[in-house]
């Protein structure tokens, strides 16, 4: 199946591991990702914080390009997805002032996790699992913006999404239920207010540990960065010795399907998942 792929700026930078794992598993799932031609930055939190106009026009340009390409568009980044949806809503709203961009609403905007957990994909995935990830105790962490606000994302299960759990079950992981799967990691405050990240993320670590989890599974590179990059700093600050690897769901698919490159991507994390995988007899 061919879809337009809008990677976003982070996947060209600090989240190259996420990008590589997506490119790695796509052919195994018979998905052909065609990169959106000439895509631009969505403006992220910074644009909508400082300039409503720019924050709307940047993703609107991407959306118009995607429609021209004629296929549904998939975004692996929660914020890119959210901004595309915001632009879609504005472009299709007759009450909104004209943005000077023509968009007919002919394509669907997907976030990557939703796209890959469609029923047909999960059914096709099940027989391909060669290395079931049994015994891995994981909590799914969805973060904020793939689901909220539902008036923008169109999601119905925004308080308690379940599709990542459904995916993990196919990979033979028994997902652990917990109450913090859509809580905020602090996102774009990571650079300017690391102190805020520390409080929010430490809370997530503690809650995950209370649920007896050994790792997180995420579908957003910003969540991954805040949970992974800050772990050493937070451990030091709170006098704890946290060890909670943070997997992208795509990396777990790669592991379960026996993709030979998976260890290479995992080695790019700051919290090395290998000791955990070895302990579980999965690597």
Partner 1 sequence: MENPENQPMRPQFFLAKQLTKAHLSVASCFFCRKCSGGCPLTFAMDILPHHVIRLALLGQEEQVLGSETIWVCSACQTCTTRCPNGIDIAGVMDWLKEEAVKRGRTIPDAGVMAFHRFFLESILDAAGRVSETRLLRRYTLYKMRRNLNLTELRQNINLGWKLWKRRRVRLFGPPTLRGKAEIKEIFRQGEF
Give the shortest CB-244-to-partner 1 separation in angstroms: 17
Count of C-beta atoms within a 10 Å radius of residue 1:
14
Comparison of 75 and 173: residue with beta carbon closer to partner 1? 75
- Nearer of residues 123 and 195 to partner 1, judged by Cβ: 195
Check residue 175 and report its DSSP letter.
P
Instruction: Please give the Cα distance from 231 to 245 (Å, whole number).
Output: 9
Between CA 30 and CA 201 the distance in angstroms is 36
**Residue 16 or 29 having the CB closest to partner 1:** 16
User: Residue 32: in which H helix or E strand, if any?
Assistant: strand 32-35
Least separation in angstroms between CB 237 and partner 1: 11
Question: Which residues are near partner 1 by CB under 8 A?
Answer: 9-10, 12-17, 38-41, 43-54, 57-58, 61, 144-145, 148-151, 158, 183-184, 186-189, 191-193, 195-196, 199-200, 229, 233, 267-270
Q: Considering beta carbons, is residue 120 or 192 the nearer one to partner 1?
A: 192
Least distance between partner 1 and beta carbon 54 (Å): 4
CB of residue 212 to partner 1, shortest distance in Å: 23
Residues 6 or more apart whose Cβ sits within 8 Å of residue 260:
none
Write down the least CB distance from residue 171 to partner 1, Å.
25
Rounded CA separation 231/219 (Å)? 18
- 143: alpha, beta or left, given left = phi > 0 and alpha = psi -120 to 50? left
Of 58 and 276, nearer to partner 1 (C-beta) is: 58
């Amino acid at each position: 199946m061919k879809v337009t792929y809008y990677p976003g700026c982070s996947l060209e930078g600090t989240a190259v591991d996420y990008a590589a794992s997506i490119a790695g598993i796509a052919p195994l799932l018979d998905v052909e990702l065609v990169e959106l031609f000439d895509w631009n930055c969505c403006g992220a939190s910074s644009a909508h914080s400082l300039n409503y106009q720019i924050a709307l026009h940047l993703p609107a340009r991407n959306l118009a390009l995607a429609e021209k390409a004629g296929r549904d568009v998939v975004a692996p980044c929660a914020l890119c997805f959210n901004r595309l949806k915001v632009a879609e809503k504005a472009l299709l709203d007759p009450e909104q002032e004209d943005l000077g961009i023509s968009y007919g609403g002919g394509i669907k905007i997907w976030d990557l996790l939703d796209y890959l957990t469609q029923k047909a994909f999960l059914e096709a995935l099940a027989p391909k699992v060669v290395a079931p990830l049994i015994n891995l105790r994981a909590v799914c962490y969805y973060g904020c913006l793939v689901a909220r606000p539902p008036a923008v994302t169109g999601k119905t299960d925004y308080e308690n999404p379940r599709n990542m759990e459904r995916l993990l079950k196919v990979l033979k992981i028994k997902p652990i239920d917990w109450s913090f799967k859509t809580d905020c990691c602090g996102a774009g405050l990571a650079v300017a207010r690391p102190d805020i990240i520390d409080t929010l993320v430490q809370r997530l670590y503690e809650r995950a540990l209370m649920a007896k989890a050994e790792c997180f599974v995420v579908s957003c590179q910003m969540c991954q960065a805040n949970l992974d990059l800050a772990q050493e700093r937070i451990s030091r600050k709170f006098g704890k010795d946290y060890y909670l690897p943070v997997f992208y769901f795509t990396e777990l698919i790669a592991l379960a399907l026996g993709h030979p490159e998976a260890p290479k991507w995992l080695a790019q994390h700051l919290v090395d998942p290998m000791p955990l995988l070895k302990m579980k007899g999965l690597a």
